[in-house]
Structure 1
Amino acid sequence: MRGILLLAGVAPLLFAIPAMAQQADHSNMPGMQMPAPKKPAAKPKPRPQAKPVRRAQPKPAPSPPAVTPAAPAPTADPHAGHGMPVTRGRDMPDMQTPAAPGAPDPHAGHDMSAMPGMPGGDAATQHGTVGTALPAGNAPAPPPPSDHYADRVFPPDEMARARSALTREHGGTSTYQVMLNLAEYQVRDGRDGYRWDGEAWFGGDINRLTLKSEGEGSLGNGVDGAEVQALYSRALDAYWNLQAGVRHDFQPKPSRTYATIGIEGLAPYWFEVEGALFLSDKGDVLARAEGYYDQRITQRLILQPRVELNFAAQDVPENRIGSGLSNAELGLRLRYEIRREFAPYVGISHEWKVGDTARYARADGERTRATSFVFGIRTWF
């Protein structure tokens, strides 16, 4: 009975020994490599939730960080310098792309976080750290671009001619004007007469050649007085011109030639004003002041009051001129502008001689005062 129980206990051991031999590790045997057993796949970790970005309060813009240039690559890489920076995504904050061993990082020194669309870029723009929102400084302005840049592309001689033509056509050109402010017939008590007053000029905005002429006469007696002035006109500013030249009187006889210096321009409230001094070849000194104002009643109807005063520093008996205020004229003319360049007018004019000039007139049998009804044409082109 004991022998049967012993055999029953040993029999399982006899069957277990061959099975254990089959499960032995043979990886250390020469020439034998057994694949390692596969590990079960790890379960993916849950993605961390992106934390909300808290917008910081606006702060003074810091100075831009120094940019460190990337080291040159030892080999020619067609994609060097064109790679995008390593972006630390919000979805995978712990993942980074490792650089190849021994190769320079193409993104070193290029912080693209301030660009729109990059993490932090929109916030940086809103915080006023880029563009024209940078703080004001004392750095000098950059120099303007060099002039005549087109000379680098086109022949300089042709560009110089083009610039010269552009200057002439936009302010540097020469122009002219001829104006007859008075060209009228005078109806007087006793003897009718006529009168003219006008000027012409040629030149630019600064320098001009100016010609002036005025005179008067009586029907049946010819021209009583006539003069012509040739003047150089120089602009003092936008409203006033300084003039110098010569004046020659054809009538009355004997004729005289004068050196002339004067000024003309537009006074405040749109008064046209002119004044001049004359020094004759005989040493006589004369002066003249005149002015007028265009009072626009309608777009075509204009009322023009006008005054002219003549002075002499001494008696000039040859020309029947006395010292002081020699004569004056006050007129009022109403014109209708059919066109701006052509306007007929009617009006009244009163002239009188004073002082020694009146005494010369009475000695010659002439009247010292005269009132005239006038009509004429004001024109310019």
Structure 2
Amino acid sequence: MSRSNRHSLAIGLTSVLVLATGCAPAWAQETDHAAHHPAAKPAASPSSPRPADPHAGHLPTSPDKSSDDHGTMNHGNMRHGAANPADSEHTGMDHSTMDHSTMDHSTMDHSGMDHSGMDHSGMDHSGMDHSGMDHASMGHQPGVSEDLPPTAEPREPIPVVTPTDRAAAFPDLDEHLMHGESINSYWALDRLEAWDADEDGTGMAWEAQGWVGSDLNRLWLRSEGERAGGSTESADVEVLYGRAIARWWDAVAGVRHDFAFGGGPSRTYAALGVIGLAPYKFEVSATAYLGESGQLGVGAEAEYEMLFTNRLIGQWLVEGEAWSKDDPAVGIGSGLSKVEAGFRLRYEFHRQFAPYVGVVWERAYGGTADLRRAASGDVDDTRIVAGVRIWF
């Protein structure tokens, strides 16, 4: 080989070495991502020089090599959010259109990656295998809040409730605080009804009650009676003192007087009983009576109201009486005297005024039934009633 040829060859080798030395770092740091940019970069402005393409010479030479094999890629030195373009050309990369479903992350090292500038909104992770990823070095600790260390106590621990706290929350209230001292009253004509009697013409009946007083102490008045054929067959009135003994219960004590009609005598009894609201909203009244001659009687009544609408209300009623001795003068026999049951359906045009219709069944038992048979009366009776309920 001639001297001139050897000289030219030396110059060419030297140039190759210089170029290789200058490009080697960039070659080691960059990976061919040309296949991840389907759209070409916009053309540079004619007035500004075109920047050098760091990926020049790295484009694939055939379509078969257009996709990278990320399974063996090392992202340890990559900084996707680097501010200096010289550190990495991945600054501002948009991964939203990249399909990582076929990537195998099991061999990838993410310990040095900075994902602060990456957009993963469009990435498909359904096919990615994260089983080999080291989340501890990435700062991801499942189930642990980022604001608190794993072993930190709650910022505001719930204090233990002490007996002193309970006593302060539920202080003992005296009578003046528990019960109002104002005087109130309630008067109700629960039933004022009429029916068509077969033999005696029109029948009528009433039941009324009311009270006046405070929440703790009340004066009760009760009355009921019945008329048939234009004459009063029975009527009584009770005057009772009531004292609240529980949240929904009053104990009552007083006097009952039965008026004399049809030539019979009147009767007066001492009364002792309870009035209240039983569980499941049954209104209950039970009273024991002690007569002048040692006659002992018990009367009980229970009512239950069923709301079909806010104004259409059905009322169920059952009541009964029992006496210890026969008293033929007033038509009472020993044992269970009578039982009455009925259903009344009322419509409250106004809360204080409600007409109703209903059906009532009554039957006499024991000695009372015998006395009615002797007087040619009916032992049992069923009637359709219509009436009105008023309170104020």
TM-score (norm 2): 0.54
Q: 1:294 aligns with which of 305, 313, 320?
A: 305
Contact 1:188-1:370 within 8 A present in 2 as well: no
What displacement does 1:325 show? Answer: 0.7
Q: Which runs of 5+ in 1 are unaligned?
A: 1-126, 145-166
- The one-letter code of the counterpart of 2:295 is D
CA change 1:371–1:138 in 2 (3 A) is: closer
CA radius of gyration, larger in: 1
Q: Matched residues in 1 for 2:270 and 2:375: separation?
A: 29
Q: Matched residues in 1 for 2:161 and 2:229: separation?
A: 80
Contact 1:189-1:372 within 8 A present in 2 as well: no
Task: Find out whether 1:311 has 2:358 as its counterpart.
Answer: no
Aligned to 1:194: 204
Q: 1:175 aligns with which of 162, 171, 184?
A: 184
Aligned to 2:95: none
Q: 2:382 aligns with which of 371, 378, 381?
A: 371
Aligned to 1:184: 193
Aligned to 1:338: 349
Contact 1:216-1:223 within 8 A present in 2 as well: yes
Q: 3-state DSSP class of the match of 1:171?
A: coil
Q: How many residues align?
A: 228
Aligned to 2:47: none
Q: After superposition, where does 1:217-366 map in structure 2 within 5 Å?
A: 217-220=227-230, 222-252=231-261, 253-366=264-377
- The one-letter code of the counterpart of 2:310 is Q
What displacement does 1:328 show? Answer: 1.1
What displacement does 1:265 show? Answer: 0.6
Q: 3-state DSSP class of the match of 2:371?
A: helix
CA change 1:314–1:343 in 2 (3 A) is: same
What displacement does 1:251 show? Answer: 3.3
CA change 1:337–1:136 in 2 (3 A) is: closer
Q: Which runs of 5+ in 2 are unaligned?
A: 1-151, 169-175
Aligned to 2:65: none
Q: Matched residues in 1 for 2:160 and 2:326: separation?
A: 73
Residues 153-177 of structure 1, C-alpha deviations (whole Å, 9 max, x = no match): xxxxxxxxxxxxxx79x92201000
Contact 1:295-1:303 within 8 A present in 2 as well: yes
Q: 3-state DSSP class of the match of 1:361?
A: helix
- The one-letter code of the counterpart of 1:320 is G
Aligned to 2:136: none
What displacement does 1:140 show? Answer: 7.9
**Root-mean-square deviation (CA), in Å?**
2.7
Q: Matched residues in 2 for 1:140 and 1:247: separation?
A: 50
TM-score (norm 1): 0.56
Q: 3-state DSSP class of the match of 1:217?
A: strand
Aligned to 2:213: 203
Q: Matched residues in 2 for 1:275 and 1:137: separation?
A: 44
Residues 41-99 of structure 1, C-alpha deviations (whole Å, 9 max, x = no match): xxxxxxxxxxxxxxxxxxxxxxxxxxxxxxxxxxxxxxxxxxxxxxxxxxxxxxxxxxx
What displacement does 1:371 show? Answer: 1.3
Which has the larger displacement, 309-318 or 170-179?
Answer: 170-179
Q: 3-state DSSP class of the match of 1:225?
A: strand
What displacement does 1:364 show? Answer: 1.0
Q: Matched residues in 2 for 1:216 and 1:139: separation?
A: 59
What displacement does 1:343 show? Answer: 0.4
CA change 1:283–1:302 in 2 (3 A) is: same
What displacement does 1:326 show? Answer: 0.7
Q: Matched residues in 1 for 2:296 and 2:342: separation?
A: 26
Q: After superposition, where does 1:59-70 map in structure 2 within 5 Å?
A: none
- The one-letter code of the counterpart of 1:284 is Q
CA change 1:356–1:298 in 2 (3 A) is: same
Contact 1:307-1:331 within 8 A present in 2 as well: yes
Q: 3-state DSSP class of the match of 2:300?
A: strand
Could you list the runs of 4 or more consecutive aligned residues of structure 1 that deviate by over 4 angstroms after TM superposition?
135-141
Q: 3-state DSSP class of the match of 1:294?
A: strand
Aligned to 1:216: 226
Q: 3-state DSSP class of the match of 2:372?
A: helix
